[in-house]
Amino acid sequence: MKRILSALLIVMILAAATVLPVSAAEKVTVTYDLMYDGKTYAEEFDKGTVPYVTYFTRGGYETYECYTDSSFKHRFDFSKPLEEDVTLYVRWLTEDELVYLNLYLSPDSTEAVASASCPRGEVYGQPAEPSAEDGVFAGWYYDKACTFPYNPTSRIYSDTDIYACFVSSQSEVTGYNVFDSPYADEPVVGGAVKKGKSIFIPSEPEMADDELLMGWYFNRELTDKVDFAAPITKDYIYLFPKILGEDSVYWCSIFLSADDEYAVGGGAVEKGQPIPEPESPGGDGEHSFAGWYTDRALTKKADFTSPRYVDVELFPRWEEIHYHTIVTADEIASTAKTDGCKAHLFCPECGAWFEPIAAALIEIEDHESYVIPAEGPYLKGDANGDGVVNIRDVTAIQRCLAGYDPSPFCRAAANVRGNGIVGIEDASLIQRYLAEYSDSL
């Protein structure tokens, strides 16, 4: 019996010797620097796993955030797997230093499903994507109508409500990824928006002091610039920033007057690109805009088509608007016998007269100041104002010259020659045009 037991023991020992040992999972360490009293705390996790958030408390503080640097610039992302040891610096926050991002599952929700805290003035990022049984998630929005998409790259300065948007199918959704460099492998943030709507403008990525953001592009080659006012129609888009050093740009400064000391707008433009033409600055009711110039003397008109490499200043040229003092006159002596019109609109200050058709658009009284275009809304040759040039217009001119009431009648349109006097020559020119003896009036 002892011999059998011994033999069995030997077999068990040999069997145990042939079983391969199970290797323990490789570990990584997360070290927390609590940033007060020299306190630290370390915890091990299996490599490749997502770490859980360790809970700390400190008197007088509401919560904390973890950063990978002691200056609190780079927040640690607890949603990504750990691949190496890391030290996290704890930033303690009071209630006054916090804002809340309130998440609603639908525009009809009366209560937030969650409220995420964020240090005031910092970027929260992208909230987790909610799920729904009867729809496809199409992003977070600032408004209940789901027209203004939430910007996960923007800083938050006050409590903010955002609403989840759901659509009926994936074909109505555009996915996006935002990168901080054309050379980056991983996006800074990703998400979704409703297809056919515009997307938010990402915040500036981190740059050196002598670098400038020159716009966002759909491709790494930086040739397809994003128009943030245009609707997005693709299934997926990628946004890459174009960043240039100050030595690669020239500066364009925009002034509202050649007499102004300080510019009101402008910015950097890549060297070799034309000056971007600003919108018209409008007018003040007494002056009209007459173009952009590059000198205060307003002698050099701006060129918006040629490449440029040096700084430029843009000044608007203003021209005074002449407001006609309108007087209704029964007849104007110089035209009374030839134009057949018994009532005129006349400006005694500049000598201009206007077709009564303009008066039909407004209520004119004697000596009322009003701008009336010298060339009103008419088709040249369309004397009777019916929208076409035909033999009826010739008849209208003949009736006018014969002293009959030609109404409706547009003298400016009837005066084909443009000399200010309606005559039989104008009727003849219309007839030649209708007979195809001339190509135009």
Structure tokens of 350? 């500049």
Contacts 24+ apart (CB under 8 A), 178-185: 178/153, 178/202, 178/239, 179/238, 179/239, 179/240, 179/241, 180/205, 180/206, 180/241, 181/205, 181/240, 181/241, 181/243, 182/217, 182/220, 182/221, 182/222, 182/240, 182/241, 182/242, 183/220
CA–CA separation, 365 and 177 (whole Å): 63
Residue 57: pLDDT over 50: yes
What is the rounded average pLDDT of the residues 166-182? 96
Residue 392 forms beta bridges with which residues?
none
Cβ partners under 8 Å of residue 381, min gap 6: 389, 393, 413, 414, 416, 429, 430, 433, 441
pLDDT computed for residue 6 by the predictor? 37
pLDDT computed for residue 348 by the predictor? 65
pLDDT computed for residue 371 by the predictor? 37
Residue 75 forms beta bridges with which residues?
67
What is the rounded average pLDDT of the residues 392-418? 82
CA–CA separation, 128 and 150 (whole Å): 13
Name the nearest CA neighbour of 234 among 149, 147, 172: 172
Residue 182 forms beta bridges with which residues?
none
Query: Quick check: 286 and 320 in contact, CB under 8 A?
Result: yes
CA–CA separation, 215 and 201 (whole Å): 10
Structure tokens of 144? 């209940």
Tens of pLDDT along 230-287?
999 999 999 999 999 999 999 999 999 999 999 999 999 999 999 999 988 876 667 7
What 3-state class would DSSP assign to 42? strand
Give pTM, 2 decimals.
Answer: 0.64
First-last CA distance in the chain: 131
List, as one string, the DSSP characters of 279-302: PP----SSEEEEEEESSTTS-SB-
Mean pLDDT over each residue of the chain, to the nearest integer: 83
pLDDT computed for residue 251 by the predictor? 97
Tens of pLDDT along 7-38?
333 333 334 444 444 456 799 999 999 999 99
